[in-house]
Chain A
Amino acid sequence: MSEMPVNEAPVLSVDNIAKAYGGVQALGGVSFEVRAGELLALIGPNGAGKSTCFNVLNGQIRPDAGTVRLAGRDITGMPPRAIARLGVGRTFQIAAVFGSLTVLANVETALAAARGKSFGLWRPQAGMAREEALALLDQTGIAALADRPAAGLAYGDVKRLELAIALAGSPRLLLMDEPTAGMGAHERLALIGLVRRLAAAHALAVLFTEHSMDVVFGHASRVVVLARGRVIADGSVEAVRADPRVRAVYLGHAGAEART
């Protein structure tokens, strides 16, 4: 929850990152920036390198080249937990929560981790940060489920809980890998609307990948298009929508094949 005004230095700046698996270039020099308060959609056809890119930003994969900066600080190659503690929250394509804990304990555990208290051995965790945890559940709209086991939640609520867990780290950057995958149309728009309000309220920078174009074109502040590991377009929703190269990638495979 940075106090940074919207137009200052970028929260995230990705400079020329590359990653190859064997002979396959998953990322071939990708650069872009995300600013506070902005919802940047990272889109592209399957195999464009979106997931690899996410995993590099989050520290799960070390890039072969290039740098990732968080508010000017080089975080390239740091492990996920260190990046998390610097203020990067993440949600996964297949939502992951701690199934054997209650909804409330899920968020409390994330809060304890964010405060460096995970090695607390004696005082019970329950009650340490109950109010903050409930406030986060309230923000994501699942406060009523606080006492339920996370394992039994409906998928839409799992996604909301994961968002609450990600927010527990007071992130300035939120990485969301397909935040609405597996959700119905109504739920999808409700969730992305929630993310948008949260981003505006806390001056969060949000980077998300997405397959459903109604979400992207209805809610993103800006769009970066990846194809074959390269950025082929970066601009406003309207500009990207009109870009012939983007149309070629999405509409005509022949066109995509012809272009590098």
Chain B
Amino acid sequence: MLTSPEAKRGNNRVSRGEREKHAAIGSLALATRMFLGFTKLEPRVRLLPKPCRDPKETRVALDALAFQMINGLASASGLFFVAAGLSIIFGVTRIVNMAHGAFYMLGLYLAVTLADRLPGPFGYWGGLLLAALAVGLLGAAVEVLLLRRIYHVPELYQLVATFALALILNDAALWIWGPEDLLGPRAPGLKGSIELLGRRLPDYDVFLAFAGPIVLLALHLLMKRTRFGRTVRAATQDREMVAALGINQALLFTAVFALGAFLAGLGGALQTAREPANLNLDLAVLGDAFVVVVIGGMGSIPGAYVAAVLVALVKALCIALGTVEIAGWAFNMTKLTLVAEFLVMALVLVLRPQGLFGRPHGAPARGLASEAPLRPMGGTGRGLAGAALAATLAVPLVATAWAYAPVLALDMLIAVIFAASLHLLMGPGGMASFGHAAYFGLGAYGTALAATGLGLPTVPAFGIGILAAGAGALVFGWFCVRLEGVYLAMLTLAFAQIVWSVAFQWEEVTGGSNGLIGIWPDWPFDSRTGLYLAALAVTVAALSLIRRLIFAPFGHALRAGRDARLRAEASGIDVARIRWLAFLVSGLIAGVAGGLYAFAKGSISPETLTVGRSIDALVMVLLGGLGNPAGPVLGAGAFTLLQDTVMRETDYWRALLGALILALVLLFPGGIAGGRLRR
């Protein structure tokens, strides 16, 4: 829903939604840039045509592999800078900076601008360095102005606040540089290519491949040999101790955040000669960096490098293999790169949940402490719920006077179901999902494919959509419930990115960026009123189900596992399994919302799966108040209204949304329903 206001907006302006659509239409290159950007070649530097290979050839050509590996190492460097910055900041401040991708993106934009404006070879390299330094300075400013106010709030709020910052920075970039992609100049002195095994490799890629290890070494020396580095390491080990030693903690935090931002900015700036600056980079890079950090282990700089190289090499291997034939079936391995990344991460998580070089997670920081106990609905509550139901039932009656009412009301119902599904996971479950759109999208795509591809009637198609979402939640949830807090949040986001890119790239089935169209429900759901009333019935059923669940032993066990995990385990509660079930139920209900959405809109695109949609749901839940079961209903209603009225009036709704989130976190952490929160 993050982009829906634009879709509805008049076409007198070139909105970002349209621009994104333009850029996306039929262009696998964009997807490449966004998600495989670190491994695939840009047209500009693709000096050789891709080798034609016989599909039956299963032997890996050594030269192709070597070629892709250098390329992979070049990509790994960029990814390493971002992940290392993320890791260092987390180590000292315990904040996962969701704006880190935005720092990377700003580094690239600034470098492109500066390298163009400043003269000569010094201009290029000086511009790169200046850009990275500017991002470092921005990081320091952000730490002083924002982060200092949120060190004491629950980690969920920290994640959301830094994400809000990312939204604001993204709109700042839109305002400064406009919506077009920006191409930087080629690197002076590195425009050529070298020969390796009969192939030509761009000099710049070779340079980048070496830049990673050089920065790794520099960071190592900084951490081992300097007073600053020793302080950082000490603070990573034991923050309280460092505070007790009389080290200026405020200054240390600012410096660390600036260093992390500088690294991200440098990573972005160094891509100047490889890829154009665009506004999608921030989230794409963030998702990739999360995967790397989860694999390498949070807080470990060498881990970040090894993981970045591992991911890049696995992708390189997939690309080098090209199409392979296994048992008579031809597989195009290049399309498997994302799945491969996922498999590496899954394998690491199963074998070493703390990552390759990470230390075992300590007891999780207490998320949202002590909300008020649940009580059965009193007279007022019943009255309000009855009134709300009556009002929603009356909506079709006013349709003659206000034609937009049923459309808005249907949007609200879908939002309510989606937010309620996330609330079950985040509130009673204590698991903050930053990728809930994955299940919404699976529900939407499952429904759409069943209705159009298989030609099933409305109700079975809807059922298949729900099952698809449930299947996704079952698989992803199995991994997610093994983690806690920020690790879980990162993993959910990474999974959502993967689902997004599968929907984007698997054109034969999902229609790629164009999505699927012509998803219309049968009688009696084919009228606006019919569909609306059906949606209302489904909403009431979903909300009632959630309410039953949270009052049943399952809901109590879920909250028990959130409040005191070890205590719950010591009482015989299988917390991981309870959480897994919560994940499944939450995914199924999100799938319900997605299926309704597909029928409501008649067409879907990968936009149903974006991180933006996940964040919308998060904002709805927080807006409504996390500690109250009525929260998601109020939050979803208010947010949809806000989105359909205020946000569709401006190009800069991301910044607006970001400001709203910051206001929520800093001023009204209890939300509309005002669930008590202890900070």
B546-587, CB < 8 A from A: 548-549, 551-557, 559-560, 562-564, 566-575, 577-578, 581
Q: Which of A102, A117, A122, A169 has the most CB of B within 10 A?
A: A122
* A165 lies within 8 A of B548 (CB): no
A218 to B541 alpha-carbon distance, docked (Å): 59
When distances are taken between beta carbons in the complex, the residues of chain B under 8 Å from A58 are 570
* B578 lies within 8 A of A125 (CB): no
When distances are taken between beta carbons in the complex, the residues of chain A under 8 Å from B557 are 109, 112-113, 118-119
With contact pairs A109-B556, A149-B373 given, residues A97 and B567 touching in the complex (Cβ less than 8 Å): yes
* B551 lies within 8 A of A126 (CB): yes
With contact pairs A108-B556, A118-B554, A149-B373 given, residues A100 and B563 touching in the complex (Cβ less than 8 Å): yes
B361-410, CB < 8 A from A: 369-373, 376
When distances are taken between beta carbons in the complex, the residues of chain A under 8 Å from B376 are 126
Say whether A191 faces chain B, with CB atoms less than 8 Å apart: no
Name B's A-contacting residues (CB within 8 A): 369-373, 376, 548-549, 551-557, 559-560, 562-564, 566-575, 577-578, 581
Given contacts A100-B370, A109-B557, A119-B577, 6 further A-B contacts (CB under 8 A): A81-B569, A101-B560, A109-B573, A113-B557, A113-B571, A128-B553
- With both beta carbons as reference points, the residue of chain B lying nearest to A162 in the complex is identified as B567
- With both beta carbons as reference points, the residue of chain B lying nearest to A107 in the complex is identified as B571
**Chain B nearest CB: distance from A116 CB in Å?**
8
- With both beta carbons as reference points, the residue of chain B lying nearest to A85 in the complex is identified as B572
- With both beta carbons as reference points, the residue of chain A lying nearest to B574 in the complex is identified as A81
Other-chain residue from A80, A105, A168 in contact with B566 (beta carbon distance below 8 A): A80
**Chain A nearest CB: distance from B362 CB in Å?**
13
Say whether A217 faces chain B, with CB atoms less than 8 Å apart: no
How many A-B pairs have beta carbons closer than 8 Å: the answer is: 127
Other-chain residue from B370, B555, B570 in contact with A151 (beta carbon distance below 8 A): B370
- With both beta carbons as reference points, the residue of chain A lying nearest to B569 in the complex is identified as A80
- With both beta carbons as reference points, the residue of chain A lying nearest to B570 in the complex is identified as A90
Say whether A32 faces chain B, with CB atoms less than 8 Å apart: no
Say whether A60 faces chain B, with CB atoms less than 8 Å apart: yes
When distances are taken between beta carbons in the complex, the residues of chain B under 8 Å from A124 are 548, 551-552
* B569 lies within 8 A of A100 (CB): no
* A168 lies within 8 A of B563 (CB): no
Other-chain residue from A92, A125, A149 in contact with B567 (beta carbon distance below 8 A): A92
**Chain B nearest CB: distance from A140 CB in Å?**
15
Say whether A79 faces chain B, with CB atoms less than 8 Å apart: yes
When distances are taken between beta carbons in the complex, the residues of chain B under 8 Å from A168 are 571
A123 to B567 alpha-carbon distance, docked (Å): 24
A140 to B581 alpha-carbon distance, docked (Å): 33
**Chain A nearest CB: distance from B359 CB in Å?**
12
Selected A-B contacts with CB under 8 Å, 30 pairs: A58-B570, A79-B569, A80-B569, A81-B569, A81-B572, A81-B575, A84-B571, A85-B572, A89-B570, A96-B564, A96-B566, A98-B560, A98-B564, A101-B560, A102-B373, A109-B553, A109-B560, A110-B571, A112-B553, A113-B557, A113-B571, A114-B571, A118-B557, A119-B554, A123-B553, A125-B551, A125-B555, A125-B556, A126-B551, A169-B571
Chain A, 72-95, contact with B by CB distance < 8 Å: what is the 0/1 string? 000000011100110001101000
When distances are taken between beta carbons in the complex, the residues of chain B under 8 Å from A112 are 553, 556-557
Other-chain residue from B552, B564, B581 in contact with A125 (beta carbon distance below 8 A): B552
Chain A, 182-197, contact with B by CB distance < 8 Å: what is the 0/1 string? 0000000000000000
Name A's B-contacting residues (CB within 8 A): 58, 60, 79-81, 84-85, 89-90, 92, 96-102, 105-106, 108-110, 112-114, 117-126, 128, 149, 151-152, 162, 165-166, 168-169
When distances are taken between beta carbons in the complex, the residues of chain B under 8 Å from A100 are 370-373, 559, 562-563
* A122 lies within 8 A of B370 (CB): no
Other-chain residue from A109, A118, A166, A169 in contact with B574 (beta carbon distance below 8 A): A118
With contact pairs A81-B574, A84-B570, A119-B578 given, residues A98 and B563 touching in the complex (Cβ less than 8 Å): yes
A106 to B567 alpha-carbon distance, docked (Å): 11
* A101 lies within 8 A of B559 (CB): yes
* A122 lies within 8 A of B552 (CB): yes
- With both beta carbons as reference points, the residue of chain A lying nearest to B547 in the complex is identified as A124
Other-chain residue from B548, B554, B556, B570 in contact with A105 (beta carbon distance below 8 A): B556
With contact pairs A84-B569, A113-B572, A149-B370 given, residues A121 and B554 touching in the complex (Cβ less than 8 Å): yes
When distances are taken between beta carbons in the complex, the residues of chain A under 8 Å from B569 are 79-81, 84
A259 to B530 alpha-carbon distance, docked (Å): 85
* B564 lies within 8 A of A118 (CB): no
When distances are taken between beta carbons in the complex, the residues of chain A under 8 Å from B563 are 97-101
**Chain B nearest CB: distance from A108 CB in Å?**
7
A118 to B560 alpha-carbon distance, docked (Å): 11
A166 to B567 alpha-carbon distance, docked (Å): 9
Closest 3 CB pairs of A and B: A151-B370, A96-B567, A84-B572
* B556 lies within 8 A of A151 (CB): no
When distances are taken between beta carbons in the complex, the residues of chain B under 8 Å from A84 are 569-572
When distances are taken between beta carbons in the complex, the residues of chain A under 8 Å from B552 are 120-125
When distances are taken between beta carbons in the complex, the residues of chain A under 8 Å from B372 are 100, 149
- With both beta carbons as reference points, the residue of chain A lying nearest to B581 in the complex is identified as A119
When distances are taken between beta carbons in the complex, the residues of chain B under 8 Å from A101 are 373, 556, 559-560, 563
When distances are taken between beta carbons in the complex, the residues of chain B under 8 Å from A85 are 572
- With both beta carbons as reference points, the residue of chain A lying nearest to B573 in the complex is identified as A113
When distances are taken between beta carbons in the complex, the residues of chain A under 8 Å from B369 are 99, 151
Q: Which of B557, B567, B578 has the most CB of A within 10 A?
A: B567
When distances are taken between beta carbons in the complex, the residues of chain A under 8 Å from B567 are 92, 96-98, 162, 165
A118 to B553 alpha-carbon distance, docked (Å): 5
A203 to B564 alpha-carbon distance, docked (Å): 29
With contact pairs A98-B563, A101-B563, A149-B373 given, residues A120 and B570 touching in the complex (Cβ less than 8 Å): no
**Chain A nearest CB: distance from B125 CB in Å?**
45
When distances are taken between beta carbons in the complex, the residues of chain A under 8 Å from B554 are 118-121
- With both beta carbons as reference points, the residue of chain A lying nearest to B554 in the complex is identified as A121
Other-chain residue from B373, B555, B560, B570 in contact with A80 (beta carbon distance below 8 A): B570
When distances are taken between beta carbons in the complex, the residues of chain A under 8 Å from B555 are 125
A105 to B371 alpha-carbon distance, docked (Å): 14
A109 to B578 alpha-carbon distance, docked (Å): 13
When distances are taken between beta carbons in the complex, the residues of chain B under 8 Å from A120 are 552-554
When distances are taken between beta carbons in the complex, the residues of chain B under 8 Å from A98 are 556, 559-560, 563-564, 567-568
**Chain A nearest CB: distance from B416 CB in Å?**
21
When distances are taken between beta carbons in the complex, the residues of chain B under 8 Å from A99 are 369-370, 563-564
A152 to B549 alpha-carbon distance, docked (Å): 25
Other-chain residue from A97, A106, A121, A169 in contact with B572 (beta carbon distance below 8 A): A169
**Chain A nearest CB: distance from B514 CB in Å?**
40
- With both beta carbons as reference points, the residue of chain B lying nearest to A106 in the complex is identified as B560
- With both beta carbons as reference points, the residue of chain B lying nearest to A118 in the complex is identified as B557
- With both beta carbons as reference points, the residue of chain B lying nearest to A87 in the complex is identified as B572
A46 to B149 alpha-carbon distance, docked (Å): 38
When distances are taken between beta carbons in the complex, the residues of chain A under 8 Å from B581 are 119
A41 to B233 alpha-carbon distance, docked (Å): 40
* A117 lies within 8 A of B570 (CB): no
When distances are taken between beta carbons in the complex, the residues of chain B under 8 Å from A89 are 570
- With both beta carbons as reference points, the residue of chain B lying nearest to A123 in the complex is identified as B552
**Chain B nearest CB: distance from A90 CB in Å?**
4
A81 to B576 alpha-carbon distance, docked (Å): 11
With contact pairs A97-B567, A100-B370 given, residues A125 and B572 touching in the complex (Cβ less than 8 Å): no
A227 to B613 alpha-carbon distance, docked (Å): 57
A99 to B676 alpha-carbon distance, docked (Å): 13
* A60 lies within 8 A of B571 (CB): no
When distances are taken between beta carbons in the complex, the residues of chain A under 8 Å from B370 are 99-100, 149, 151-152
When distances are taken between beta carbons in the complex, the residues of chain B under 8 Å from A97 are 563-564, 567
